[in-house]
């Protein structure tokens, strides 16, 4: 898992309403609506289901330890979606025990390697990489007015990139994929109808719809930005130079935590809905 900094996520409770307004301006959808689309359920079903969930966020001190403000940021996002949520006073195993003892139905926790949500009753684990890849694809789809038949450049074929590719494929996009490690791209050709891009700079000049799932900074430069360019950038640090970002800010989808966390919750809830409906609800990412 990309390691966040406390500066990127501080004050989430105070800024998330403004973030949501900006997201609507760019995509026409709220954070909750994008999360619902990611999970393949209606916003109404998601809202109804969230009324019955109790989420516990557990501090984890293993490895490099808890990032200052991380659990508070996750709590703020979940509460913004109008779901009951609390942070445990204890950490690690004791925190997990506390969450369960206090009636949590879903738990959120992260270490140096994974950020996960667990639906306790369904024994389902939702990984942030999956949720982030899917949710950003749906946000890009909304911002672009639909991706069916559109050329999209996916930068990065790692954990998030692979899930993003799956979502982009389902949305009907024609995807070109670049990764500095070509061995990550080759297996994808057997599963998806993709074009392997060998030269990133050349590809960036040809595509106007970009999905940046790479953690590399300053790979998208001002000369790559056109008036019609739209970018979904979920990597931390962001892959745009400061100047490139200033040119595309109104058509840039990027945040350090919000969309991935919201989608994790929607997907965790979704598993419970599927069980209650006897499997009649459609796909789960």
Name all domains of the chain by residue range, CATH numbers in brackets.
Answer: 6-128+257-276 (3.40.50.12150), 131-253 (3.40.50.720)
Alpha helices in 51-123 (DSSP H): 70-80, 92-101
Please say if the pLDDT value at position 9 is more than 90.
no
246: three-class secondary structure by DSSP: helix
Three-state DSSP at 151 gives strand
pLDDT digits (tens, 9 = 90+) for 73-101: 999 999 999 999 999 999 999 999 999 99
Of 229, 211, 199, 200, nearest to 174 by C-alpha is 211
| Confidence (pLDDT) at 285 | 41
| pLDDT bucket at 67, cuts 50 / 70 / 90 | confident
The answer to whether residue 276 scores a pLDDT higher than 80 is: no
Question: If you average pLDDT over residues 140-159, what whole number do you get?
Answer: 97
Tokens describing residue 207: 């595509």
Give per-residue pLDDT as tens, 30-40.
999 999 999 99
Distance, CA of 223 to CA of 164 (rounded, Å): 25
Q: What are the beta bridge partners of residue 85?
A: 55
161-196, pLDDT tens digit by residue?
999 999 999 999 999 999 999 999 999 998 999 999
Give the pLDDT band (50/70/90) at residue 10: confident
Please, which residues have CB within 8 angstroms of residue 110's CB and are 6 or more apart in sequence?
1, 60, 70, 116, 128
Give the Cα separation of 10 and 58 in Å (integer). 18
What CA–CA distance (Å, rounded) separates 47 from 37? 13
Which tokens hold the place of 75?
Answer: 């709590």
Q: Is the pLDDT of residue 268 over 50?
A: yes
DSSP letter string over 201-213? Answer: HHHHHH-SEEEE-
Average model confidence (pLDDT) across the chain? 92
Q: What percent of the chain is modeled with pLDDT above 70? A: 94
13, 255 Cβ separation under 8 angstroms = no
Round to whole Å and give the CA distance between 285 and 272: 14
Confidence of residue 102 (pLDDT cuts 50, 70, 90): very high
pLDDT digits (tens, 9 = 90+) for 196-254: 999 999 999 999 999 999 999 999 999 999 999 999 999 888 999 999 999 999 999 99
Tell me which residue of 256, 269, 284 sits closest to 85, measured CA to CA: 269
* Token duo for residue 88: 């445990």
Q: CB-hemisphere CA count at 13 Å for 42? A: 4
Query: Rounded distance, CA 80 to CA 48, Å?
Result: 15
What is the reported pLDDT for 3? 57
Which single residue is written with the structure tokens 């390691």?
Answer: 3
Q: pTM to 2 decimals?
A: 0.93
What number of other Cβ atoms are within 10 A of residue 225's Cβ? Answer: 23
User: Which residue did the predictor score with more confidence, 55 or 2?
Assistant: 55
pLDDT (0 to 100) of residue 65: 67
pLDDT at 138 over 50: yes
Q: Is the peptide bond before 149 cis (omega within 30 degrees of 0)?
A: no
Q: Are 19 and 253 in contact (CB under 8 A)?
A: no
Per-residue confidence band for 25, with pLDDT thresholds at 50, 70 and 90: very high
Task: Return the pLDDT at 8.
Answer: 77
> What is the Cα–Cα distance from 209 to 47, expressed in whole angstroms?
31
Tell me what the mean pLDDT of segment 124-143 comes to. 97
Give me 173's structure tokens. 């996009």
């Amino acid at each position: 898992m990309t390691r966040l900094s406390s500066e990127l996520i501080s004050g989430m409770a105070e800024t998330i309403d403004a973030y949501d307004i900006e997201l609507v301006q760019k995509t026409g959808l709220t954070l909750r609506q994008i999360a619902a689309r990611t999970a393949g359920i209606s916003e109404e079903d998601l809202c109804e289901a969230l009324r019955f969930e109790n989420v516990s966020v557990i501090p984890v001190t293993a490895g490099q330890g808890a990032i200052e403000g991380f659990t508070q940021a996750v709590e703020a996002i979940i509460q913004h979606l109008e779901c009951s949520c609390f942070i445990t006073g204890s950490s690690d195993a004791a925190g997990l025990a506390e969450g369960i003892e206090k009636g949590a139905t879903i738990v959120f926790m992260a270490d140096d390697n994974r950020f996960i949500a667990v639906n306790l009753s369904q024994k389902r684990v939702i990984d942030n990489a999956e949720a982030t890849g899917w949710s950003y694809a749906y946000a890009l789809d909304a911002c672009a007015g639909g991706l069916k038949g559109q050329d999209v450049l996916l930068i990065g074929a790692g954990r998030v990139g692979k899930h993003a590719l799956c979502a982009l494929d389902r949305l009907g996009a024609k995807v070109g994929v670049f990764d500095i490690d070509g061995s990550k791209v080759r297996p994808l050709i057997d599963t998806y109808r993709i074009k392997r891009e060998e030269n990133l700079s050349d590809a960036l000049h040809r595509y106007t719809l970009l999905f940046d799932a790479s953690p590399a900074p300053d790979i998208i430069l001002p000369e790559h930005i056109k008036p019609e360019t739209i970018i979904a950038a979920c990597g931390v640090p962001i892959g745009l130079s400061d100047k490139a970002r200033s040119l595309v800010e109104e058509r840039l989808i990027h945040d350090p935590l919000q969309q991935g966390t919201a989608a994790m919750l929607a997907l965790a809830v979704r598993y419970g809905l599927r069980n209650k409906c006897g499997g009649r609800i459609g796909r789960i990412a």
